[in-house]
Amino acid sequence: MAEQPILQVRDMKKHFNVGGGRILKAVDSFSIDIARGETFGLVGESGCGKSTAGRTIIRLYNATSGQVLFNGEDIHKLSGKKLKQFNRNMQMVYQDPYASLNPRMTVGNIIAEGIDIHGLYTGAKRRARVMQLLSDVGLNEEHANRFPHEFSGGQRQRIGIARALAIEPQFIIADEPISALDVSVQAQVVNLFKKLQKDHGLTYLFIAHDLAMVKHISDRIGVMYLGNLVEVTSSQDLYAKPLHPYTESLLSAIPIPDPEIERRRERIILEGEVPSPLNPPSGCPFRTRCPKAMPECAAAKPVLKEVEPGHHVACHLY
Amino acid sequence: MSDTILSVKDLKVSFDTYAGEVQAVRGVSFDLKKGEVLAIVGESGCGKSVTAQTIMRLTPTPPSRIKSGSILFDGDIEITKLSDRQMEHIRGSEMGMIFQDPMTSLNPTMTVGKQITEGLRKHQRITGDAANKRALELLNLVGISNPESRILQYPHELSGGMRQRVMIAISLACNPKLLIADEPTTALDVTIQAQIIDLMKKLSEQTQASIIIITHDLGVVAEMAQRVIVMYAGKVVEQGTVDEVFYNPQHPYTWGLLRSIPRLDEMGGGDLVPIPGTPPDLFAPPKGCAFAARCPYAMQVCLEEDPDHTKLTADHSAACWLLHPDAPKVERPVEAGGRKHG
Ligand SMILES: Nc1ncnc2c1ncn2[C@@H]1O[C@H](COP(=O)(O)OP(=O)(O)OP(=O)(O)O)[C@@H](O)[C@H]1O
Ligand SMILES: Nc1ncnc2c1ncn2[C@@H]1O[C@H](COP(=O)(O)OP(=O)(O)OP(=O)(O)O)[C@@H](O)[C@H]1O
Ligand SMILES: [Mg+2]
Ligand SMILES: [Mg+2]
């Protein structure tokens, strides 16, 4: 039998009460398994619920319903020592490397924050650990005594990654960790993520809207639309044979840096915009923009099902 | 009649700040043909926006200052010599600009309709009715449905993609000869980006306006542009047709840019090759080639003297010592260019 996935998310929902009796279904249907050592990419357009899903998985939000199992245990039921252990095992890296670093703390102290909270090391051992982390992420020892504003965007992101690694997590949720960086620097940080995964056996949930980059770094990818996971499959499969009409148009919208290909390419240009999550369409969330919509799409919401081995899609066409 | 709409020659622009002079643009030259789409690419801070804003004379003096160079528009108009009033007229009637964040350039207190008609009435002296009619036409042209109700709305009531369409409508109002779009889709989702790019492509065909598009997305360049300029630290390091720059790039910085991005259509996917380090400080740009410190092929001469452009074809040139006849032959990395996919 296959090893138990490190993360199992079952029918997770996160609804926000936004006042006036209105409910915003930020995440409405979301089920995934992530294997140990895997990189799972989560993509979708702005506001589709990627960050909310990540935050609910790491328990920054309580799920409205459903289950999040980490190493087989329901994280929303943890308390005491087990909760502390969970907080160590799962860490988050954020999009804006500057806003997430305390400007008044030295880089060394920022990186050691988790070490201090969890009382892992003190004195010379703490110092040695910080130096090791700095070198792991490609910074050097003198950087420990400097302040975040003295660093470039890419360097700040390295500091954020070192901070997340400090307490030896098993699982890292990276929420748009490279979106704020220049293209040449994005490659530096992505390669760092890959190297650290290899060295430390990490598992990643990698959230981003740049599908080419997500495809590059991920083993499998989940596509979200308006709070729902609509397709999950391997990175290669997603590009080679997308099944959901939304995935198809998303792929088609991304220009490829190759003039000849671009001259030949026929685009599927989606009409209109993503509906408001406060007032989503009945049935399938995508049907109002879907070039293949059928009458039944308005009547019933399709559920995510496995239509080929390892390839899941939520669409009435399948 | 010449087929060049814009000719920029050795443009140098600096900012005087309390910390010293920032040499934002350090000698940029290029021509733009009528009806052509030209892309400017390069890392953050390399001077793309300052170049564009200087062409439209949108950077305030002080702190900015055109140190030298010439910007010849539509034959004989020397942009650098115009008075503010003359320039305002040109901006309203011959040039249009689209910014990354439409919210900062749209007036939040004015309806969409008013913002479109204002320029028309000022620069074309047409009646209110005619201006309104033209506003509806323009909104239709940029793909906004129900224009009759949209003209009564305020910018904050529109989505990001819709605001960008309104910006485009405003910039097209007076049938400009030149349209400059500074990262017009960076803030938008990809499906909306595809709509806007499709729109801009159609408009450039229909109106014969020349377009300069500034972007950091090489995919957008490949999709939209005929020619491309690669900037680094305030200078043009390579320029050519898109085919020349994508399939036969000559400058190691261009190689670096092409190798550092993943492609959606790549299979397997080896490692990305980042460009090490960061661009130089424009307070004190290096004496030699600005890219030398990050360049794996840098030679002694690169540190001492800035290379001139070597002309390779009518459109293609690059500023690199490797192109000197006496320079050692360097093999271009395979991931950088020459990859015509089946
Ligand atoms: N704390 C909150 N309270 C109310 N609504 C929220 C809250 N957080 C997020 N939302 C809403 O939930 C939806 C999903 O937001 P989320 O930030 O998860 O999207 P996202 O996919 O991460 O988008 P982006 O790509 O822009 O980061 C949005 O409509 C958002 O406005
Ligand atoms: N008002 C200003 N005062 C001082 N320096 C400035 C000012 N505006 C721009 N600069 C400097 O001029 C240089 C070029 O800036 P510019 O905005 O043209 O870069 P860019 O290529 O458009 O970058 P990005 O991709 O980030 O938009 C930068 O080093 C920038 O710091
Ligand atoms: Mg988010
Ligand atoms: Mg800019």
Q: Are B252 and B322 in contact (CB under 8 A)?
A: yes
Highest mean pLDDT of the ranges A67-76, A268-277, B96-105: A67-76
**How far is B260 from B227, CA to CA, in rounded Å?**
21
Residue A312, pLDDT score: 98
Q: Are B21 and B1 in contact (CB under 8 A)?
A: no
- For residues A155-168, give the mean pLDDT: 90
CB contact under 8 A, A253 and B278: no
Residue B269, pLDDT score: 64
Q: Is the pLDDT confidence value at B339 over 80?
A: no
CATH number at B4-225? 3.40.50.300
Q: Is the pLDDT confidence value at B30 over 90?
A: yes
Q: Which ligand is closest in space to the CA of residue A174? A: 3
- For residues B286-303, give the mean pLDDT: 95
In DSSP terms, which residues pair with A23 in a beta bridge? Answer: A17
Residue A77, pLDDT score: 93
Q: Are B57 and B73 in contact (CB under 8 A)?
A: no
- For residues A170-174, give the mean pLDDT: 96
Q: Is the pLDDT confidence value at A202 over 90?
A: yes
In DSSP notation, B164-192 reads: HHHHHHHHHTT--SEEEEESTTTTS-HHH
Q: Which helix (H) or strand (E) holds A16?
A: strand A7-17
**How far is B102 from B183, CA to CA, in rounded Å?**
11
Over the stretch B8-22, which tens digit does the pLDDT of each residue have? Answer: 999 999 999 888 899
Residue B341, pLDDT score: 44
Closest CA to A177 of A167, B120, A168, A164: A164
Q: Which ligand is closest in space to the CA of residue B48? A: 2
Residue B309, pLDDT score: 96
Query: What interface predicted TM-score (ipTM) does this complex get?
Result: 0.86
Q: Are A233 and A201 in contact (CB under 8 A)?
A: no
Which range, of A164-168, A273-277, B211-215, B224-228, averages the lowest pLDDT?
A273-277
Query: What are A275's two structure tokens?
Result: 């509906």
- For residues A53-77, give the mean pLDDT: 96
Q: Output b/e per residue, A39-70; b: 16+ Cβ within 10 A.
A: bbbbbbbebbbbbbbbbbbbbebebbebebbb
Beta strands in A97-207 (DSSP E): 171-175, 203-207
Alpha-carbon distances, residue B283 vs B19, B47, B68, B286 (angstroms): 8, 13, 18, 10
Over the stretch B224-270, which tens digit does the pLDDT of each residue have? Answer: 999 999 999 999 999 999 999 999 999 999 999 999 999 898 876 67
- For residues B20-44, give the mean pLDDT: 94
CB contact under 8 A, B191 and A191: no
- Give residue B152 CA to ligand 4 midpoint distance, Å: 31
Distance from the A157 Cα atom to the nearest Cα atom in chain B, whole angstroms: 14
Domain spans in chain B, listed from the N-terminal domain onward: 4-225, 250-338
* C-beta neighbour count of A5 within 10 angstroms: 18
Q: Is the pLDDT confidence value at A165 over 70?
A: yes
HSE-CB of B66 using CA atoms within 13 angstroms: 24
Distance from the A205 Cα atom to the nearest Cα atom in chain B, whole angstroms: 19
Closest CA to A51 of A164, A160, A169, A174: A174
What residues does the ion ligand 3 have nearby, CB within 5 Å? A 51
Residue B338, pLDDT score: 56
Cβ–ligand 1 distance for A88 under 6 Å, the answer no
Cβ–ligand 1 distance for A16 under 6 Å, the answer yes
Q: Is the pLDDT confidence value at B342 over 50?
A: no
Cβ–ligand 2 distance for B282 under 6 Å, the answer yes
Strand order in B95-98's β-sheet? B95-98, B178-182, B210-214, B37-41, B227-232, B235-241, B317-318, B310-311
**Which pTM does this prediction carry?**
0.91
Q: Are A244 and A316 in contact (CB under 8 A)?
A: no
Q: Is the pLDDT confidence value at B1 over 60?
A: no
Residues 206-245 of A with CB under 8 A from B: 209, 211-213, 215-216, 236, 239
**Nearest-by-CA chain A residue for B222:** A259
Percent of chain B surpassing pLDDT 70: 98
Q: Which helix (H) or strand (E) holds B44?
A: none
